[in-house]
């Protein structure tokens, strides 16, 4: 049989060789089995517990919807919750468990099928709506019984697999059991999409935006190769190719090990210029990884992940505990925590109102959303300030595009501080506040912003998205993305120059900061830190230690004169080849 090769973006580096598994966006088939007499009541209790959990989730969703002005679908949720109390569902399922001596999922499935049938043939209107309630509430209940929620991964095969899927949200990738997922191949998405970022953070080799309907050609269980360095998926590989890739995989692992041996060394150029290497994190679970990879701090904590994958928003108390944990675990290292960047491709439950915006990325996202839903921002700022005594906190505000936004944020922060003082709650009054430079207007107005804030963090992912008008998550245009886009490099340069004049520190925290070629010229700028996925840090360190500041400045100067990403990439390739540095793996595999 001939092998089939598909090329796309090298989204998350690494090599995976494992059986394919097509993840379908459906509730998994409920397991069916008979149970012993003595287990019947326990099974009924399992069903009752899932009912309770489902009802509680819906109560929380209702409460949240009440808080969100103008949301008018409260009734839909309420009727789903009421359906979960309906004897047609509860009594009938419990009787089926008892009389049929069958497991709860099977009994529930039977009840749902019967209920749906009785409503299916009725005309449009109220009873037809009831069918939808059964569908949604039934799915929720089944998910809870199966111990999951949302996209279920309970059907993943034993051992490792490469997941083939049309689309995954960043939150869904974050939820995967890491030891079972060797790689991800997705039909949609681009290199700087949040889904890609999470895959990199978890060191899962991933290829996004593979068109050509790959899902129709892959068979569950067949061995596939994912080359996340080259952006290549091989279906039905030939024996020789498989053997070659096993060697490459081994070499890759050896290289990783080699790089890890140097993580204790400082990120210093050959001529003694130091830069701090920090980590971008999304989840508190990444702390061990960032420490293992030698991060000198957290340059970007994307707190919105605390709000995703769940039915309710975290309380001030829950946030406080979370931020305090990160700060205390990082000790004397700086931790830059970003306020909520919800919206765009990161929509939390209960935000459907905002999902309907025609252009969510240009709409009510990040600080714009927080300035509208002020209670969200206030709770987060209170939690952050309260946690500030536990370590070295910096607060970072995302997607600022106008000077007035930062005036408003600072005003709210001051009033939060006043409240905390009144309540005699301790906090650090000198927590630095900075902004993300990720919208061209912020870069162009950097001199003005630099008078108002304590630091900048440059988000090159969004600077690319907004600077070039290329949707980060749209695979039809994502091939236009390049970390070497001259317009973006020039915007970065403008912002860094403004910060230098105002004497405020700058970090680059977009994906560009972890790209070995880009690091080579970013080192030529006056940056305090580069913040990246923890797994990219050992490579970044290797690059920095191989270069001199003078070489980097020369490269930057040359890059700033070149007219296209392609030419910049070619130029960097030529120059860095001499140092045996390669775009992804440092050494050619």
Q: Is the dihedral of CA 260, 264, 270, 272 positive or negative?
A: positive
Residues within the interface to Mg ion (CB under 5 A) = 438, 459, 462
What CA dihedral angle connects 6, 8, 11 and 15, to 10 degrees? 30
Residue 264 designated active-site: no
Give the burial class of 523: count Cβ atoms within 10 A of its Cβ; 0-12 exposed, 13-18 middle, 19 or more buried: buried
503-532 binders of ligand PEP (CB under 6 A): 509-510
C-alpha angle 368-369-375 in degrees, rounded to nearest 5: 120
**The only residue of 152, 322, 334, 460 in contact with ligand PEP, by rule CB under 6 A:** 460
302 binding ligand PEP? (CB under 6 A): yes
Residue closer to ligand PEP, measured from CB, 198 or 406: 198
Least distance to ligand PEP, CB of residue 459, Å: 3
CA distance 476 to 357: 20
Single out the residue of 335, 398, 264, 289 nearest to residue 529, CA to CA: 335
22, 509, 571, 584: the catalytic one is 509
Please identify which residue in 138, 459, 524, 538 interacts with ligand PEP, judged by CB under 6 A.
Answer: 459
**Between 368 and 571, CB nearer to ligand PEP:** 368
Q: Which residue has the tokens 């191989």?
A: 546
- Which listed residue (133, 187, 341, 405) binds ligand PEP by CB under 6 A? 341
Smallest distance from ligand PEP to CB 227, Å: 24
- For residue 4, report the phi and psi dihedrals to the nearest 5 degrees: -120, 135
Residue ranges of alpha helices (H) inside 479-548 are 486-502, 516-522, 537-546
| Closest CB to ligand PEP among residues 197, 543 | 197
Asked if residue 510 lies in contact with residue 462, where contact means CB atoms within 8 angstroms, the answer is yes
At 293, give phi and psi (nearest 5°): -85, 5
Cβ 320 to Mg ion shortest distance, Å: 25
Closest CB to Mg ion: residue number: 462
Q: Write out the binding residues for ligand PEP, residues 406-445 only, by CB under 6 A.
A: 438
22 carries an active-site annotation: no
Per-residue binder mask for ligand PEP (CB under 6 A), 140-179, x = binder: ----------------------------------------
Query: Based on C-alpha coordinates, what's the Rg of the chain?
Result: 26
By a kind-dependent CB cut-off of 5 to 8 A, residue 409 interacts, out of Mg ion, ligand PEP, none, with none
Contact (CB, 8 A) for 589 and 245: no
467 binds ligand PEP (CB under 6 A): no
- Nearest to ligand PEP of 438, 475 (CB atom): 438
- Cβ proximity to Mg ion: between 97 and 347 the closer is 347
User: What residues contact 45, with CB distance under 8 A and at least 6 apart?
Assistant: none
Minimum distance from CB of 163 to ligand PEP (Å)? Answer: 22
Q: Which residue is nearest to ligand PEP (CB)?
A: 459
User: Least Å distance between CB 346 and ligand PEP?
Assistant: 8
Asked if 188 touches ligand PEP (CB under 6 A), the answer is no
276, interface contact from Mg ion, ligand PEP, none, CB < 5-8 Å by kind: none
461 contacts ligand PEP (rule: CB under 6 A): yes
Distance CA 489, CA 496 (A): 11
Residues 120 and 154: their CA atoms lie apart, in Å, by 29
Mark out the alpha helices in 102-181 (DSSP H runs). Answer: 104-120, 126-145, 170-174
Euclidean distance between CA atoms 455 and 337, whole angstroms: 13
We find the least distance from the C-beta atom of residue 462 to ligand PEP, in angstroms, to be 3
Q: How far is the CB of 197 from Mg ion (least distance, A)?
A: 10
- Please report how close the Cβ of residue 499 comes to ligand PEP at its closest, in angstroms: 16
Query: Each residue of 226-239: b (16+ CB within 10 Å) or e?
Result: bbbbebbbbbbbee
Query: Which one of the listed residues 9, 22, 161, 194 is annotated catalytic?
Result: 194
Q: Give the separation between CA 98 and CA 37, rounded to whole angstroms.
A: 9
Angle between helices 374-387 and 316-330 (to 10 degrees): 40
Q: Which residues pair with 165 in a beta bridge?
A: 186
The answer to the question of residue 365 lying near ligand PEP (CB under 6 A) is no
Which partner in ligand PEP, Mg ion, none is near 364 (CB below 5 to 8 A by kind)? none
> What is the distance, to the nearest Å, from the Cα of residue 322 to the centroid of all Cα atoms in its chain?
17
CB-nearer residue toward Mg ion: 109 or 341: 341
Distance of CA 483 to the CA centre of its chain: 19
Query: Which listed option, ligand PEP, Mg ion, none, makes contact with residue 11 (CB within 5 to 8 Å by class)?
Result: none
Contact between 462 and ligand PEP by CB under 6 A: the answer reads yes
Helix, strand, coil in percent for the chain, rounding step 5: 50, 15, 35
User: How many residues bind to ligand PEP according to rule CB under 6 A?
Assistant: 11
Q: How far is the CB of 446 from ligand PEP (least distance, A)?
A: 15
User: Of the two residues 462 and 485, which places its CB atom closer to Mg ion in the complex?
Assistant: 462
Catalytic residues: 194, 509
**Site for ligand PEP, rule CB under 6 A:** 197, 300, 302, 341, 438, 459-462, 509-510
């Amino acid at each position: 049989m001939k092998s089939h090769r598909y090329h796309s973006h090298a989204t998350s580096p690494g090599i995976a060789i494992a059986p394919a598994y097509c993840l379908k966006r459906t509730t998994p088939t409920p397991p069916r089995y008979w149970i012993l007499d003595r287990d019947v009541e326990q099974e009924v209790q399992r069903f009752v517990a899932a009912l309770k959990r489902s009802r509680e989730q819906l109560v929380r969703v209702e409460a949240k919807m009440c808080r969100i002005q103008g949301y008018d679908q409260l009734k839909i949720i309420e009727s789903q919750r009421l359906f979960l109390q309906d004897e047609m569902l509860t009594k009938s399922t419990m009787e089926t468990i008892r009389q049929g001596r069958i497991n709860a999922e099977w009994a529930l499935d039977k009840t749902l099928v019967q209920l749906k049938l009785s409503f299916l043939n009725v005309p449009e209107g109220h009873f037809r709506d009831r069918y939808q309630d059964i569908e949604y509430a039934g799915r929720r209940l089944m998910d809870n019984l199966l111990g999951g929620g949302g996209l279920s991964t309970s059907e993943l095969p034993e051992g490792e697999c490469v997941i083939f899927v049309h689309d995954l949200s960043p939150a869904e990738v974050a939820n995967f059991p890491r030891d079972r997922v060797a790689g991800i191949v997705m039909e949609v998405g681009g290199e700087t999409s949040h889904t890609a970022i999470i895959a990199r953070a978890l060191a899962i080799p991933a290829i996004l935006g593979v068109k050509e309907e790959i899902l129709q050609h892959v068979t569950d269980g067949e061995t596939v190769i994912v080359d996340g360095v080259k952006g290549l998926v091989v279906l039905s590989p030939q024996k020789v190719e498989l053997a070659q890739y096993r060697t490459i995989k081994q070499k890759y692992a050896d290289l990783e090990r080699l790089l890890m041996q140097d993580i204790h060394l400082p990120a210093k150029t050959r001529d003694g210029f130091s830069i701090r290497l920090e980590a971008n994190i999304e989840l508190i679970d990444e702390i061990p990884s960032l420490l293992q990879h030698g991060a000198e701090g957290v340059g970007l904590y994307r707190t919105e992940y605390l709000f995703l994958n769940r039915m309710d928003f975290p309380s001030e108390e829950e946030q406080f505990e979370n931020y305090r944990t990160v700060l205390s675990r990082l000790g004397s290292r700086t931790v830059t925590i970003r306020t909520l960047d919800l919206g765009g491709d990161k929509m939390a439950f209960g935000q459907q109102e905002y999902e309907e915006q025609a252009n969510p990325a240009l709409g009510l996202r990040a600080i714009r959303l927080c300035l509208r839903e002020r209670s969200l921002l206030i709770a987060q700022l209170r939690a952050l300030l309260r946690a500030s005594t536990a370590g070295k906190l910096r607060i970072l505000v995302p997607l600022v595009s106008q000077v007035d936004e930062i005036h408003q944020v600072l005003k709210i922060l001051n009033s939060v501080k006043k409240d905390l003082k009144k309540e005699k709650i301790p906090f650090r009054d000198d927590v630095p506040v900075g902004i993300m430079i990720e919208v061209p207007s912020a870069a162009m107005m950097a001199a003005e912003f630099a008078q108002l804030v304590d630091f900048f963090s440059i988000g090159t992912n969004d600077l690319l998205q907004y600077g070039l008008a290329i949707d980060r998550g749209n695979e039809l245009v994502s091939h236009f993305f390049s970390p070497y886009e001259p317009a973006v490099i020039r915007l970065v340069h403008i912002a860094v120059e403004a910060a230098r004049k105002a004497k405020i520190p700058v970090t680059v925290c977009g994906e560009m900061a972890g790209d070995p070629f880009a690091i080579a010229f970013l080192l030529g700028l006056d940056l305090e830190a580069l913040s990246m996925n923890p797994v990219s840090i050992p490579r970044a360190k290797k690059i920095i230690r191989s270069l001199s500041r003078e070489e980097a400045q020369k490269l930057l100067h040359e890059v700033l004169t070149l007219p296209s990403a392609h030419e910049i990439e070619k130029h960097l390739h030529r120059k860095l080849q001499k140092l045996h540095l390669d775009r992804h793996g440092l050494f050619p595999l």
